[in-house]
Structure 1
Amino acid sequence: MFKELAYYDGQLGTPDEVMIPFNDRSHFFGDGVYEATPAGNHVPYLVEDHLDRFYTSANIMDIKIPMEKDELKKLLQDLTKQVEGHTHFVYWQVTRGLAARDHVYSKDMVGKLWVYIRPSKIGDMENPIKVQTHEDLRFEYGNVKTLNLLPAVLYSQEAHHKGVTETILHRKGIVTECAHSNVSILKDGAVISHPNDQYILRGIAKTHMIQACYRLGIPVYEREYTLEELMDADEIFVTSSSNFLTFADTVDGKPAGNKDPKTRNRIKDELIREYFEYTGCTKLNG
């Protein structure tokens, strides 16, 4: 069993043991796409959804994944079983391939698969978080989960310096998503969430939060909403694969949200139930 596992193009070992060729295009261009999900009971959670998005991102970027979807699913499941612990962070990416530095690439280049798995925990869903807002200055491939994360790194570092957890992004006052999460609001018993367009990543956790709302009879409106609506919301939901559903009570230093804990907890409990059913776990992080 590994404490942490790394995999690159068929090589398997610890992160210190596995070596990456210098000419992998990720080193020069960040030329690749990625996915990540938690695993419970050594079962990667919602792996089919994540693989669908992974292959979609690669197709948009014209990157050839070196194996079929079912084969990659089995590889991720098998590798997760080789890592110590009960709850894990499962990360994988594909880079375009190996070549001397050149912006133009060969059309027959086959991608290189990377996997990284370590023990982890599902995030805290009981306590509120503080967030800040920032103009969304990223390029318009927000719907692709690329390795080009420098803007997200900068937004996250700024949030860390300010003592807040996340950065909610907006384009001219229209809320898009967070630096590394999706954000939705609850107002008068209905969830409002930015539609899946080129400005946001189609979040798996957001999608399953919306599906949970449908099962619970909670209305959902996928439409644009403003910073003013964010500040006036009854709840501010921040969703990601590692946290499922967290909620904010402070935005830019001002109180916000945290006014409808009953509805929030109904959604949270339904998401946890779904996780238990999928993984066979009976408790989080245990």
Structure 2
Amino acid sequence: MEALAYYDGKIGTPEELTVPFNDRVHFFGDGVYDATVGANGKVYLMQDHLDRFYTSAKALDINIPMPKEELGKLLTDLLAKVDGTTHFVYWQVTRGVETRNHVYAENLPGKLWVSIRQNHLNDPDVPIKLNTEEDTRFYHCNIKTLNLLPSVVAAQHAKRIGVQETVLHRGDIVTECAHSNVSILKDGVFYSHPNDEFILRGIAKTHMIQACYRLGITVMEKCFTLDDLMNADEIIVTSSSNFCLHACEVDGKPAGGKDPATLKAIQDEVLREYYAYTGKTTVVD
């Protein structure tokens, strides 16, 4: 099987499964999700992602229909059914099924979805291009909700202008990217936006910060500006499906590329953890 879908206990291909019309996701985008890499049959950093998933659901009073340990086993079992060695593992829970109404029934059973497909990681040695846009999303970016329309619009615009990711900012303060975290290196110090309501606490970013600690690199989790971004020695973009990518251009202007040694040390340490966890020996299949 090249791709697998799961909904509320049913398993099939994405084309085979159907979702009830009254699932609240259709009317309100009412749910939360998480995602990571699957490699050699292992769901990468599964416990970290499950912790964030259950935290997001709790923040929105959504009931996940099984305990954390059971969901972890389900994800691992479903991953084993999909061909290949590297996968994109995605799961979400919607509030449930009931007639459309803004208010919802107390203790409504949530509906679990899983999608697993063959995938590959981008080569961290290949630089990417970025653009910047004002961050006009809401004030709950720390919850990994299904309401991703602003990110969809930003990602499509980025594709049209030939860049790979959009850096969002509120005023002069850089927050995160449309579907990644962004951090910078300057004078040997790693800077990243603090984990507040304006960004999603990235699992990959968290492990990259831990890698910096192991390497003895000073970490500052504090706000940085667009000027800081443009003048950074390196710009690092990271997500759970792409580790430690670096930028060579922002808004059509050259950027980064001034501290390749420190960048490479961080990339190597992040990948060392990935290889140890999964048994993989390379990022690019």
TM-score band by shorter chain is over 0.9
Whichever residue aligns with residue 37 of structure 2, its letter is P
The aligned counterpart of 2:165 is 166
The aligned counterpart of 1:224 is 223
Shift of 1:168: 0.2
Q: Distance in 1 between matches of 2:122 and 2:68?
A: 28
Q: Distance in 1 between matches of 2:236 and 2:282?
A: 22
The aligned counterpart of 2:143 is 144
The aligned counterpart of 2:65 is 66
User: Following superposition of structure 1 onto structure 2, how do residues 80-95 of structure 1 map, counting pairs within 5 Å?
Assistant: 80-95=79-94
Secondary structure in structure 2 of the residue aligned to 1:263: helix
The aligned counterpart of 2:189 is 190
- Relative to the length of structure 2, the TM-score reads 0.99
The aligned counterpart of 2:30 is 31
In structure 2, runs of 5+ residues without a counterpart are none
Alignment deviations for residues 121-151 of structure 1 (CA, whole Å, 9 cap, x no partner):
0122111111000000000110000000000
User: Following superposition of structure 1 onto structure 2, how do residues 197-212 of structure 1 map, counting pairs within 5 Å?
Assistant: 197-212=196-211
The aligned counterpart of 1:247 is 246
Whichever residue aligns with residue 130 of structure 1, its letter is K
In structure 1, runs of 5+ residues without a counterpart are none
Shift of 1:283: 2.3
Q: Distance in 2 between matches of 1:3 and 1:232?
A: 43
Q: In the alignment, is the contact (CA less than 8 A) between 1:205 and 1:240 conserved in 2?
A: yes
The aligned counterpart of 1:99 is 98
The aligned counterpart of 2:116 is 117
Alignment deviations for residues 74-101 of structure 1 (CA, whole Å, 9 cap, x no partner):
0000000000001000000000000111
Shift of 1:193: 0.3
Whichever residue aligns with residue 51 of structure 1, its letter is L
Shift of 1:255: 0.8
Q: In the alignment, is the contact (CA less than 8 A) between 2:185 and 2:232 conserved in 1?
A: yes
Q: Distance in 2 between matches of 1:16 and 1:230?
A: 43
Q: Percent identity?
A: 64
The aligned counterpart of 1:268 is 267
Shift of 1:11: 0.3
Whichever residue aligns with residue 204 of structure 2, its letter is A
Q: Distance in 2 between matches of 1:280 and 1:61?
A: 36
Residues 1:131 and 2:136 are matched in the alignment: no
Secondary structure in structure 2 of the residue aligned to 1:237: strand
Q: In the alignment, is the contact (CA less than 8 A) between 1:24 and 1:97 conserved in 2?
A: yes
Shift of 1:107: 1.0
Q: Distance in 2 between matches of 1:59 and 1:282?
A: 37
Where in structure 1 do 4 or more consecutive aligned residues deviate above 3 Å? none
Q: In the alignment, is the contact (CA less than 8 A) between 1:235 and 1:264 conserved in 2?
A: yes
Q: In the alignment, is the contact (CA less than 8 A) between 1:87 and 1:285 conserved in 2?
A: no
Q: Distance in 2 between matches of 1:156 and 1:30?
A: 19
Q: In the alignment, is the contact (CA less than 8 A) between 1:192 and 1:220 conserved in 2?
A: yes
- Relative to the length of structure 1, the TM-score reads 0.99
The aligned counterpart of 1:4 is 3
Q: Distance in 2 between matches of 1:157 and 1:124?
A: 22
Secondary structure in structure 1 of the residue aligned to 2:98: coil
Q: Distance in 1 between matches of 2:281 and 2:2?
A: 23
Alignment deviations for residues 142-175 of structure 1 (CA, whole Å, 9 cap, x no partner):
0000000000000001111110000000001100
Q: In the alignment, is the contact (CA less than 8 A) between 1:86 and 1:285 conserved in 2?
A: no
Shift of 1:285: 4.2
Alignment deviations for residues 179-220 of structure 1 (CA, whole Å, 9 cap, x no partner):
000000000001000000000000001000000000000110
RMSD of the alignment, in Å? 0.7
The aligned counterpart of 1:14 is 13
Q: Distance in 2 between matches of 1:231 and 1:285?
A: 29
Q: Distance in 1 between matches of 2:232 and 2:126?
A: 18
The aligned counterpart of 2:78 is 79
Shift of 1:282: 2.2
The aligned counterpart of 1:51 is 50
Q: Distance in 2 between matches of 1:284 and 1:167?
A: 24
Q: In the alignment, is the contact (CA less than 8 A) between 1:191 and 1:218 conserved in 2?
A: yes
Q: In the alignment, is the contact (CA less than 8 A) between 2:190 and 2:220 conserved in 1?
A: yes
Q: In the alignment, is the contact (CA less than 8 A) between 1:194 and 1:224 conserved in 2?
A: yes
